[in-house]
Chain A
């Protein structure tokens, strides 16, 4: 694997994470429990779509085959998507949406903090710009974790259920492939294993404050996205997202 191939892989992962999450958050639009949350969730979706566009555009450049952000977003199949499994999971109720958001935000914050000193110029400026956004996302989702975890009995149960469901998808965030090893050795991306330590730390603190418990998955963690093996959800997300450009491949929008 060449260095460019490794970088392409990482940029796809980053872009796809933003895109798939924005797609999920977009489903909420107009249906949240109050206007302020509608606005906040849309804000997060907008930031994620912005990050996705930057990363996918750069991925196209690095690949060197003339593919645009839209070619990559709308004309790849399930197995070619590299987003983490966590992000394609269903919205469920607000508890599930916020828990998914929180687990990802803490990861993304750590990743971007590491990328600020990347040896790659694009990733460096990408990190500086995106970190401001993700700092806000992380504080929004952490606040809701605590508010709902330590709210009523009902909200507490819903949050614990959401954690129980989603925890199995967190291990995969830190998985390393050949591409990661190449990029880490070159100082392009931070060591994912090291990110895990601070992630554990922060996630643990918030969960404790929220009076929730880290579920015991008996060591089980879901895996697969690095190889393009996703959960059943991704196929539906792409079917919906891609249908129009695929139906009319000649058309410009």
Chain B
């Protein structure tokens, strides 16, 4: 079959809403786009462990400590599923991690912001996991079977993450004046980055046209962002907090919350490496790889010894 014909058939499958499985034929660019997206997503889960892990030893109650540990552990699990989903496309985890620590692969730029107070742990669960849920629920409807199934599985855990985050913020916002201030300050710092988190308008996104044609993404960044805003603004109001956007207003006609301009300059600057924690996050991943090398080598050496012993016994 000619390439053009294959591509046409592939597109027809996509248009009919069929899922594509690992062993099926796919255009080279479909594979590349997926590897880029899934590995980037996996890296985000792993790098995302850092700002939250930062507060495990300082969580202010034992219950919160346990919940945070469980949450960060889930994120490691998400990283694992996603690396495996990417591996179905013919790239291995080692290679992806190398791309991460050499700066060739990206991760969600929001994890380049610092967790300065306990309230930031609330803000991450509420806003960052909240935005992630909306995005991942959309991605779960995407065309690539292994990715879409990983999203379904992950989304179930994300709602627990979102709830625990909102609970932290709500408790603070309704606590002592100092706590309330902590919550509001945190919202002030995280609101902008979480608006940027779902990506630039699709007109400005170079990958969107292709990923939407192949239904890797089934909705635009702006649509997903709007859904996130509509569910988050009432939550802020219910907690007694103020969204730091003077232009925010509810449009009675469309029944949507409308926001002011998003600071895309800041977004691109952070992506280019000039966020508050880019260096720290990358260094943490690089150090974990470098300092763990002897462990991985030893484990491999031991496995090899065991295999030899078995072979020897069998002979």
Binding site for B on A (CB under 8 A): 19, 22-23, 26-27, 29-39, 42-43, 45-46, 49-50, 52-53, 56, 69-70, 73-74, 93-94, 146-148, 150-152, 154-155, 158, 237, 240-241, 243-245, 248, 250-253
Contact = CB atoms under 8 A, between A and B. Distances in A.
Contacts of A248: 176, 178-179
Given A31-B284, A39-B73, A46-B66, A151 B302 contact: yes
A139 B284 CA distance: 29
A251 B301 contact: no
Contacts of A49: 62, 65-66, 69
Interface string B279-315: 0000010011101111111110110010000000000
B295 A241 contact: no
Contacts of B53: 26, 29-31
Contact of A42 (B63, B69, B288, B291): B69
Residue in A22, A30, A33, A154 whose Cβ sees the most chain B Cβ within 10 Å: A30
Contact of B72 (A27, A30, A73): A30
Interface in B75-95: 76-77, 79-80, 83
Contacts of A32: 288, 292
A27 B295 contact: no
A59 B115 CA distance: 34
B56 interface: yes
Contacts of A27: 56-57
Residue in B53, B77, B298 whose Cβ sees the most chain A Cβ within 10 Å: B298
Contacts, number: 139
Interface residues of B, number: 46
Given A39-B73, A147-B302, A30 B66 contact: no
A33 B73 contact: no
B129 to A, nearest CB: 16
A253 B171 contact: yes
Given A37-B295, A148-B298, A152-B294, 18 more contacts: A22-B65, A30-B76, A32-B292, A33-B296, A43-B73, A46-B70, A49-B66, A53-B62, A148-B302, A152-B297, A154-B294, A154-B297, A155-B295, A155-B298, A241-B57, A244-B118, A253-B61, A253-B168
Given A46-B69, A251-B178, A251-B179, A147 B61 contact: no
A71 to B, nearest CB: 11
A22 B176 CA distance: 29
Contacts of B70: 46
Contact of A253 (B60, B72, B295, B302): B60
Contacts of B72: 29-30, 42
Contacts of A244: 58, 60, 118
Nearest to A33: B292
Q: Please report whether the interface of chain A is mostly helix, strand, loop or mixed according to DSSP.
A: helix
Nearest to A151: B298
A35 B46 contact: yes
Residue in B61, B175, B291 whose Cβ sees the most chain A Cβ within 10 Å: B61
Contacts of B176: 248, 250-251
B298 A70 contact: no
Residue in B60, B176, B284 whose Cβ sees the most chain A Cβ within 10 Å: B60
A250 B159 CA distance: 30
B49 interface: yes
Given A150-B305, A151-B297, A241 B49 contact: no
A70 B61 contact: yes
B42 to A, nearest CB: 9
Contacts of B296: 33-34
Nearest to B70: A46
Contacts of B76: 30, 35, 38-39, 42
B60 A245 contact: yes
